[in-house]
């Protein structure tokens, strides 16, 4: 089934003004009707928590109310509908299919709204390899927009990761890597991205969205967008750093959406020839390296805070 990945995530929130400003400051564009979009048209939908049009809440602290998947064509929609009607109610409204997965997450499927984008990626010059930047082209640009390009993935807390994985396998998702006893990284058939869904097994009272992220154009954009976000007063949660599984650069932030929000870049691509890896969950398996944001510093000035603390 040619599922491309998430088109949108729908949240029912307590503080609409704070969430609107957060997403704008994160770099998404206000496209109207409380839809905040990346450059390719994927994005986040905000609604008031008590909006009666929303799917039912999960009964936990999670504010995620629906995950909307984009598919390649109407034929894929028909195949998804036929598969899901085998054992659950499916509603079809205006070309959108709606149902619940086996963990109680509300899902929607639609022919994708993604727009093609053609943008340069970050370039690197290194000895022994052909130059990616011509002479006299500087890599550092203070005015670089560093805007979210595409909704990358969502991470769920689930009470039964084995059962949850089996549901998505029915829809053509495959496991690319796995943390033992924790959960799988899953890739749908319509993309080579390492994952668009990762699931972490937790007690039932924690069920919900742990984080979501958008792809940026490279690690420098992650660092730049994250630094700008910190300077606007938002609290860094984890990062910047680089993951092992997926190899993507990351920087996570706290948010008023009831979950963490990440910037990411440079994710691995996989096809049917990839063999999934397994590792125990732990700090070493979770990241190759991890930095901590500090205020800018120049040689000749007082030592930066970390150096003062260890002097």
Q: What confidence tens digit (pLDDT) does each residue in 127-144 have?
A: 999 999 999 999 999 899
If one compares 91 and 300, the residue with the highest pLDDT of the two is 91
303 part of a folded domain = no
In this prediction, residue 311 carries a pLDDT of 42
Tell which residue, 122, 138, 121, 143, has the closest CA to residue 228: 143
Residue 178: closest CA among 162, 202, 157, 158: 162
Lowest-pLDDT range, 24-33, 137-146, 293-302? 293-302
Dist CA 214 CA 306 (whole Å)? 30
The average confidence (pLDDT) of the chain is 95
Residues 23-39, mean pLDDT to the nearest whole number: 98
Which range marks the domain in which residue 202 is found? 3-115+149-290
Query: What are the φ/ψ torsions at residue 32 (nearest 5 degrees)?
Result: 95, 155
Query: Within 13 Å and on the Cβ side, how many CA atoms surround 131?
Result: 7
| pTM score of the predicted model | 0.94
Number of domains in the chain: 1
Around 260, how many Cα atoms within 13 Å sit in the side-chain half-sphere?
A: 18
Q: Residues 275-287: pLDDT tens digits?
A: 999 999 999 889 8
Is 130 domain-assigned? no
**What 3-state DSSP class applies to 138?**
coil
Mean pLDDT, rounded, for 245-263: 98
Question: Where residue 246 sits, what CATH number does that domain have?
Answer: 3.10.180.10
Instruction: Determine, yes or no, domain membership for 154.
Output: yes
| Residue 304 domain-assigned (yes or no) | no
What is the predicted pLDDT for the residue at 305? 67
Residue 119's pLDDT is what?
A: 96
Query: Do the beta carbons of residue 193 and residue 243 sit within 8 Å?
Result: no
Question: What is the C-alpha separation between 37 and 28, in angstroms, rounded?
Answer: 5
> How far is CA 310 from each of CA 62, 148, 195, 303, rounded to the nearest angstrom?
39, 37, 39, 10
d(CA 78, CA 58): 27
Is the predicted pLDDT of residue 309 greater than 60, yes or no?
no
State how far Cα 42 lies from the chain centre: 11
**Within a domain: residue 138?**
no
Q: How far apart are CA 223 and CA 221, in angstroms?
A: 5
Domain membership flag for residue 129: no
Model confidence at 222: pLDDT above 90: yes
Is 126 within the bounds of a domain?
no
Q: Is 186 exposed, middle or buried (0-12, 13-18, 19+ CB in 10 A)?
A: buried
Helix segments in 96-182, DSSP class H: 161-170
| Residue 122 domain flag | no
């Amino acid at each position: 089934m040619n599922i491309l990945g998430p088109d949108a995530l729908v949240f029912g929130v307590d503080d609409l003004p704070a969430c609107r400003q957060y997403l704008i400051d994160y770099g998404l564009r206000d496209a109207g009707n409380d839809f905040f979009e990346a450059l390719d048209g994927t994005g986040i939908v905000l609604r008031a928590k008590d909006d009666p049009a929303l799917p039912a809440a999960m009964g936990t602290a999670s504010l995620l109310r629906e995950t909307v998947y984009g598919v390649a064509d109407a034929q894929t929609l028909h195949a998804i509908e036929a598969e899901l009607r085998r054992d659950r109610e499916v509603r079809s409204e205006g070309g959108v299919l709606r149902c619940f997965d086996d963990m109680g997450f509300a899902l929607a499927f639609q022919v994708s709204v993604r727009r093609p984008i053609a943008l340069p990626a970050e370039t690197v010059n290194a000895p022994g390899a052909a130059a990616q930047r011509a002479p006299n082209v500087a890599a550092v640009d203070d005015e670089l927009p560093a805007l979210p390009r595409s909704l990358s993935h969502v991470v769920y807390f689930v009470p039964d990761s084995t059962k949850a994985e089996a549901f998505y396998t029915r829809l053509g998702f495959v496991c690319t890597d796995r943390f033992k006893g924790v959960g799988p990284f899953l890739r749908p058939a319509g993309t080579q991205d390492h994952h668009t869904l990762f699931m972490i097994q937790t007690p039932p009272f924690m069920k919900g969205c742990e984080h979501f992220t958008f792809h940026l154009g490279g690690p420098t954009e992650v660092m730049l967008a994250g630094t700008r976000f910190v300077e606007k007063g938002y609290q860094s949660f984890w990062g910047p750093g680089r993951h092992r599984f997926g190899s993507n650069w990351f920087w996570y932030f706290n948010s008023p959406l009831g979950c963490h929000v990440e910037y990411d870049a440079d994710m691995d691509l996989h096809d049917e020839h990839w063999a999934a890896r397994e590792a125990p969950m732990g700090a070493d398996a979770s990241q190759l390296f991890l930095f901590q944001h500090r205020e800018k510093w120049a040689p000749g000035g007082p030592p930066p805070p970390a150096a003062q603390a260890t002097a």
